[in-house]
Amino acid sequence: MQPKSVIIILLSLISLTFIALLAFHQGVYKKHVVNLNDPALIEIVTDASQGGKTRAEMRIDKQGLHLTCQIKAQYQWPFCEIQIKFSARDANGRFLLDQGIDLSNYTQLYMDLAFQGEQADRVRLYIRNFNPLYSNLEKDENSFKLNEVEFSANEFNGGMLLPIKDFNVPSWWLHPRKLPIKQHGVELTNVPLISFASGSEVEEGEITLSIKQMYFRYNLISQQNILFFIIALWLSAAFITLFMMLKNYRLRLYASNKVQKKQKQILKTLKLEKSEMEQLAHRDPLTGLHNRAGISKYLIEYEDKAQKKGAAFSLIFIDIDFFKTINDQYGHNVGDDILVAFSLCIERNIREQDKLARWGGEEFILLSINTDITEAQYLAEKLRNLIAKQSFIKKIKVTASLGVAQMEIGETTDSFFERADNALYQAKSNGRNQVCVAIKP
């Protein structure tokens, strides 16, 4: 090893020792910065859901997140709250409130806040925690453990640290749940969201809370570990020297292999992304069926066969009866499950050359080549009977109305679709759960 390299190693050791001593006195912190700039992660909650009249709006700018509330005393306990989500999302973008982040190692919370209004600047901060031992969101949306602290917001104007140990779990939340004593304390193992709320005693009027910056932090390295690091660092000087010699020898080979591997990975990733983008552009994300863009190539192909080669080409419009009522009664999640099961029921009972697509909402279309109007009507009746006999999620019974048309020589696409759509409309007008055949042009 060259003398220059030895000097570099010694200087590096001295620098690392200095940094370690600095860390011994100042601390080395890991931070989790709260995202205040993404409106998709932020939700406003007021007493309006309880019949109150409080109104609120939020604004995001370079200075941070601002919540302005018009407090009204219509409700017994008026409140205004802003929630910031930490939880994961599913494929449809919905928040999975049972899948938060682990903040249990963090010991301090830094906040830079400002409060404007003609009343006391009291603010409540909740850190909600999900634990399957006591949380059941289907039965009780308040089953998140509430880790709470109330304080004067303007104390944090300019920025100040709040110890996590200052949080507590309110007795009104603990009492009805009768948890064992070991579960009474503050818990941050699975945090899906935090929220700022107006104080426990609030008066009518306008208030504005500005959240300029916010992050959790904890010290990564204890003082004992730092001292151990300094001792080990100097004892390892000889091994570091040997390592530098070996590293210089292997560096070029390693760099060459790494570049080749990275290029191959980039190429593979680009191919996968291209395939995924093409799939997403032509498929309905909920059912996996063709969407309007995806079915268009089959429509063009089948029209060409019908107009140039005289092949029988039929179209079936399919619409779920009273689907809005299902959504209103059981919720959109159940409605989505029914759409998926409905599409599977049809897919499993058609031929390979029959192409099914989700046309929009609860409406589907089926393209059938080499199928005349009689055969298409028979297929539509078969599908209608299968759907009516099937029990969907929660044993819900569903029926469908179907409109059938066959393309005539020289007919335009618009006319073809309009006749099938009119037949569907006629089926619904006649009482639903039936098949109607389109009138020839």
Tokens of 97: 């409130």
Predicted local confidence at residue 15, as pLDDT: 84
With 0.75 as the threshold, say if the pTM is over it: no
Annotate 66-126 with DSSP letters as a single string. EEEEEE-TTSSS--EEEEEE-SEE-TTS-EETT--B--TT--EEEEEEEEEESS--EEEEE
Residue from 113, 111, 106 nearest 129 by CA = 106
| Chain-centre distance for alpha carbon 438 | 43
Annotate 22-41 with DSSP letters as a single string. HHHHH--EEEEE---S-GGG
Predicted local confidence at residue 266, as pLDDT: 56
Low-confidence ranges of the chain (pLDDT < 70): 1-3, 6, 23, 240, 244-245, 259, 263, 266-280
Spans of all domains in the chain: 30-179+186-219, 292-437
Predicted local confidence at residue 122, as pLDDT: 93
Predicted local confidence at residue 276, as pLDDT: 55
Residue from 155, 142, 151 nearest 50 by CA = 142
The CATH fold of domain 30-179+186-219: Jelly Rolls (2.60.120)
Annotate 220-235 with DSSP letters as a single string. SS-HHHHHHHHHHHHH
**Strand 435-437, strand 400-406: pairing:** parallel
Predicted local confidence at residue 257, as pLDDT: 80
Contacts of 158 (CB under 8 A, 6+ apart): 112
Number of H helices, E strands in the chain: 9, 18
Three-state secondary structure call for residue 139: coil
Q: In whole angstroms, give the CA distance from residue 246 to residue 233.
A: 19
For residue 421, CA distances in Å to 368, 381, 428 come to 16, 17, 11
Residue from 429, 417, 436, 431 nearest 373 by CA = 436
Give me the amino acid identity at 102.
D
Q: In whole angstroms, give the CA distance from residue 400 to residue 433.
A: 5
Tokens of 126: 């909740």
CATH of 292-437, one of 3.30.70.270, 3.10.20.90, 3.30.465.10, 1.10.10.10: 3.30.70.270
Q: CA-CA-CA-CA torsion for 371, 373, 377, 380, nearest 10 degrees?
A: 50
Tokens of 429: 């007008």
Buried b (16+ CB within 10 A) or exposed e, 62-73: eebbbbbbebbe
User: Where on the phi/psi map is residue 288: left (φ > 0), alpha (ψ -120 to 50), or beta?
Assistant: left
Residue from 11, 26, 16, 22 nearest 230 by CA = 16
Predicted local confidence at residue 259, as pLDDT: 64
**Strand 313-320, strand 363-369: pairing:** antiparallel
Three-state secondary structure call for residue 426: helix
Residue from 355, 354, 315, 319 nearest 339 by CA = 319
Predicted local confidence at residue 277, as pLDDT: 60
Q: In whole angstroms, give the CA distance from residue 210 to residue 190.
A: 26
Annotate 247-289 with DSSP letters as a single string. HHHHHHHHHHHHHHHHHHHHHHHHHHHHHHHHHHHHB-TTT--
Q: Where are the beta strands (DSSP E) in 175-225?
A: 193-198, 205-219
- Strand-pairing partners, residue 66, are 59, 210
